Amino acid sequence: MNIIRKIFNSRSSKNDGNFFMNHLTKILGFTPVNEMIYKEAFTHRSMNIKNEKGEIINYERLEFLGDAMLGAVISNYLFKEAPKGDEGYLTKMRSKIVSREHLNELGRDFGLIQFVQSKIAKSSFGENIHGNLFESLVGAVYHDLGFEKCEEFIYNKVIEPYVDIEKLEGKIISYKSLVIEWCQKEKKTFRYIVFEDTGNDPIKHFGVKLLINSKQIARARATSKKKAEEKASKRAFFALQNKMSK
């Protein structure tokens, strides 16, 4: 693990060697014990480093662990706070809380990207880096101090300031899912068709048409097929809102 310490120390822009731990303590609300596990939590795979056993060191394994901890703690919270909710309701509510959009928001709010050690410029990362780092941080807390402290962190930093069940009930996290569910319920056919994009943007865009019963309902373009489909679905939802709300 000494190699991680050297990397963090050599790349620190502050003269204070405790900059990382001091700021991390402010974010967490308590003092971490195992400094190295938190440094691993912010080490990007592009660093291509291994420990003394030859094991690859980056934040991805901690991200996996953090994802599981968030799911467990939030599931338990919803189980207690929504006693009338069935399995489907609880699953949807959990998905809204741990949506990629929400996790990215948390990572940005905490400014976690400032700690990343990477050979890739921070400006080149996509939006999901923020959520990935937050999940990794949660995993590090669990690895460092166990489940109870990890649960406390999630309650203090995620549930109390961000989770409002009544507001979440009305929050739409996927217009595509809504459109598909409605089409299936109404026995309508639907197709997402990628069409040739002729835009002049320097970044490649994808064009998508949404057809319902062979009729084009909406179209959209975005930097990925998935985003374009979601954008087209949102437009279709508002175009068909009166029918879909019945």
Q: Which pLDDT tens digit goes with each residue over 233-242?
A: 989 988 888 7
Nearest to 99 by CA among 140, 149, 134, 139: 134
Nearest to 144 by CA among 56, 35, 68: 35
> Residue 132 is part of a domain; what is its CATH number?
1.10.1520.10
Q: Which pLDDT tens digit goes with each residue over 154-210?
A: 999 999 998 888 877 777 777 888 899 889 989 999 999 998 665 666 677 889 999
When divided into structural domains, the chain yields a total of: 2
Residue 151 annotated as catalytic: no
Q: Which pLDDT tens digit goes with each residue over 31-68?
A: 999 999 999 999 999 999 888 888 889 999 999 999 99
> Residue 210 is part of a domain; what is its CATH number?
3.30.160.20
157 and 73 belong to one structural domain: yes
Question: pTM for the whole thing?
Answer: 0.70
Residue 67 annotated as catalytic: yes
92 and 206 belong to one structural domain: no
**pLDDT for res 10:** 54
Active-site residue, from 40, 63, 67, 230: 67
Q: Which helix (H) or strand (E) holds 241?
A: helix 241-244
- Identify the residue whose tokens are 């928001």: 105
42 and 76 belong to one structural domain: yes
Q: In terms of residue numbers, what domain contains 110?
A: 2-169
72 and 144 belong to one structural domain: yes
Q: Which pLDDT tens digit goes with each residue over 97-143?
A: 998 888 999 999 999 999 999 998 888 888 899 999 999 999 999 99
142 and 185 belong to one structural domain: no
> Quick check: 41 and 137 in contact, CB under 8 A?
yes
184 and 216 belong to one structural domain: yes
Active-site residue, from 86, 87, 105, 135: 135
151 and 215 belong to one structural domain: no
**pLDDT for res 159:** 94
